[in-house]
Structure 1
């Protein structure tokens, strides 16, 4: 008789305990421990060394078709040029954001190139998948739909069919019989993901798994799930808007923080070829004080987005500081620099900062644009609509250099901007022509050059 062992596992972070705990000492979550019974004989063995003995680096032969192109350029951009063969990719996002839609579209595009795709649906029936496929215009004899939740059966069919791509929808809905706990538990997710990784590496099959997110927006399941996979992609977007942002937050085979922009329609997700133009399409119609244009960088892609600021007198003892799309702590730091270095008194003013278009801007190169938006609102002057801004603000009020400056300038020029304000410390290429480059060393210089009376 198998020796049975019982453990209590935190369903938030995967912390294990021999007894029940009300609060997890690792992540601090309450009432998250669930008892799981594990059989000692049910450990998964990985047979990678049998099929893949050690090789000299110089003797390893690379397949010329090392990546599978999805034929969706925005998706390929985020993946680093396509799906690497034998890789394990995790895509996570809110319910209804478009995870299943984009993967079904990807399946259709791959099948057009005579690639075999196995779509494992653990949450929908085959007829429901067929209904969505008809709406998206996906139809191919190379696309196989397999509604199944048992991992042992899933593994059997993957090894028998040897498809070019396997899609698992979703990792939280499948289970292995070797663990006596419900699907979606930490142990089930960890074991199933580990086994999928073994299948991918041993058989050189690309696998994409869909993951759920928690109410806080984090990927559901243990943190080890993100460590095991090769690529982690987050689907972002507002359910009240049609635009979706696909963001790479981990990629062993490409750039991280790369983004792809899509628009959701009745026929699925369509690519947005020029996202900067999308984010600025209403800019010229809203020429008011407190509005500036910055050139931010997401991965290797420069994007022009509009920053808006609103400053008003507060009736309360403590003024409000609200930021949407940028880190509020970054805004607080900029406000402190403005008060100390240029004498802008904001101690009795509410300050609101918003990034138009629903994109999150996290890099410090947006500092100067945020500062000028606040200043133009306070002084009731209009920012020059033909000028873009990029620059990081130091605590002494100096403007510090940023990366990818040539790409940022070129993107601003393509969108019709006549001038761009950049840090003085940045060196630019001699090939930059057709746009006036204004170099500034301190905030006060940028103010005099960027506003119109």
Structure 2
């Protein structure tokens, strides 16, 4: 027999229920996700079966032709997507304000339209004339590109019925509301309702949809967590306001690898792809300079060269020593300095140390530890070493160096760019997979930080 439950409140994020409203869900800690739930009826009757609309087939007999990819016309974005857009795919592109999301997607829409595919660009944040001005500035005008400025979901779907596009860009999901949903535009309920409707329409029509999403002050995608679960691909658009370099990183991809990155550069004429970004994060010196070292980091599957610079200065009087970092993790630099103090006999406790990257690069790869140690040691001793040298390796607390993943791809990239010597940890090279043929690069394996400094003649002569 059915049993009537008492009215309560429910979290739209995790499903937690309570007898009173709270501003923050006690289970998932989400703010503003607890809403009133009407009386519901629970029953123990079994769910009725219904005839399936389509017959189940063996997976080998399912046609894959409907999932053929179409190139966007932007090589770096196609690289991240895994080869282009699949019909019916729903892509979420998130990034900070001003990073260039709208500029990038307007270029994608224009390239798609120039290839003869009808495209609909829906803007909810700007007027149609504002988008038109940007399109003129970035040369993104095309006959098959249709533009609409709407904030109502029903009207947006009406444009889809009228234009019949193969690609729709919605900028942004937080500005569109559905009349059947609760709350205001950008709220948890509205974002979920609008996204669910767009996913349903995209799958039914075989139309690719790219949605622009906002980010919070912590860098996460704004809205309910289910937003990322509903879409097929999640892309993060990253970049520094003070640098023209931009990077698109895939964090979820149902149709391709989820660890690829695409590189772009923002200029006065819009955003352009950078197929070979290694030179952006290094400087060219005519002569060797103390306090610099180049390393190779992995961004997804792509090896990128990055230069680390260090500066060491004596502490005046009794002033506490300063540690300043830019582009590298502060705690890892502090650990590396302690290792240099104890294992390499370099006096670091009474010196100011500054560590920075070149070109606004942010290095999170632990394999850059050895480059930081070499740059600081070179600055501390005021000694240089040959220019075409790089160092890779994760530093342990015992002063040892740990293996570097994807080393073969890293050294191959360094060899392509003309480097002559690479310092790597012992037993890092996987000869079973076949080492790449190197022309001028010599790879030297060392077990510890002290040995790496010895190879570069950066070991301190005296012992404390």
* TM-score interval, normalised by the smaller of the two chains: 0.7 to 0.9
Paired position in structure 1 for 2:395? 393
Distance apart, 1:80 and its partner CA:
1.9
Paired position in structure 2 for 1:33? 32
Distance apart, 1:97 and its partner CA:
1.2
Paired position in structure 1 for 2:462? none
Q: Deviations over 1:317-355 (max 9, x none)?
A: 764433322222322332333333323343333333222
Paired position in structure 2 for 1:443? 449
Preserved contact between residue 310 and residue 375 of structure 2 (Cα < 8 Å): yes
**Matching of residue 297 in structure 1 with residue 298 in structure 2:** yes
C-alpha distance 166-15 of structure 1, shift in aligned 2 (>3 A): farther
Paired position in structure 1 for 2:83? 81
**TM-score (ref. length: structure 1):** 0.87
Paired position in structure 1 for 2:193? 191
Q: Deviations over 1:287-325 (max 9, x none)?
A: 532211001111111110111123334467764433322
Pick from 260, 263, 266 the counterpart of residue 262 of structure 2: 260
Paired position in structure 2 for 1:409? 411
Paired position in structure 1 for 2:48? none
Distance apart, 1:272 and its partner CA:
1.8
Report how many aligned residue pairs link the two structures: 438
Preserved contact between residue 378 and residue 458 of structure 2 (Cα < 8 Å): no
Distance apart, 1:60 and its partner CA:
1.2
* Deviates further, 289-298 or 150-159: 150-159
What secondary structure does 2:313 align onto?
strand
CA distance in 2, matches of 1:16, 1:289: 62
**Matching of residue 306 in structure 1 with residue 307 in structure 2:** yes
CA distance in 2, matches of 1:14, 1:451: 62
Paired position in structure 1 for 2:155? 153
* Deviates further, 245-254 or 105-114: 245-254
Preserved contact between residue 166 and residue 208 of structure 2 (Cα < 8 Å): yes
Distance apart, 1:125 and its partner CA:
2.0
CA distance in 2, matches of 1:438, 1:426: 10
What secondary structure does 1:357 align onto?
coil
Distance apart, 1:376 and its partner CA:
1.4
Preserved contact between residue 38 and residue 179 of structure 1 (Cα < 8 Å): no
Distance apart, 1:185 and its partner CA:
0.7
Preserved contact between residue 311 and residue 354 of structure 2 (Cα < 8 Å): yes
CA distance in 1, matches of 2:16, 2:364: 30
C-alpha distance 191-371 of structure 1, shift in aligned 2 (>3 A): same
Preserved contact between residue 12 and residue 35 of structure 2 (Cα < 8 Å): no
* Deviates further, 294-303 or 421-430: 421-430
CA distance in 1, matches of 2:352, 2:28: 34
Paired position in structure 2 for 1:172? 174
Matches within 5 A, 1:227-242: 227-242=229-244
CA distance in 2, matches of 1:51, 1:63: 21
CA distance in 1, matches of 2:160, 2:65: 21
**TM-score (ref. length: structure 2):** 0.85
Preserved contact between residue 120 and residue 146 of structure 1 (Cα < 8 Å): yes
Paired position in structure 2 for 1:225? 227
* Deviates further, 283-292 or 203-212: 283-292
Distance apart, 1:161 and its partner CA:
4.2
CA distance in 2, matches of 1:6, 1:161: 44
C-alpha distance 417-265 of structure 1, shift in aligned 2 (>3 A): same
Preserved contact between residue 164 and residue 206 of structure 1 (Cα < 8 Å): yes
C-alpha distance 52-421 of structure 1, shift in aligned 2 (>3 A): farther
C-alpha distance 239-62 of structure 1, shift in aligned 2 (>3 A): same
CA distance in 2, matches of 1:40, 1:72: 52
Distance apart, 1:212 and its partner CA:
1.0
Root mean square deviation of aligned Cα: 3.0
Q: Deviations over 1:120-162 (max 9, x none)?
A: 1111222222222122222223211121111123234335544
Distance apart, 1:413 and its partner CA:
1.7
CA distance in 1, matches of 2:201, 2:12: 27
C-alpha distance 55-288 of structure 1, shift in aligned 2 (>3 A): same
CA distance in 1, matches of 2:364, 2:278: 17
Matches within 5 A, 1:272-421: 272-280=274-282, 282-284=283-285, 287-314=288-315, 319-421=321-423
Preserved contact between residue 408 and residue 436 of structure 2 (Cα < 8 Å): no
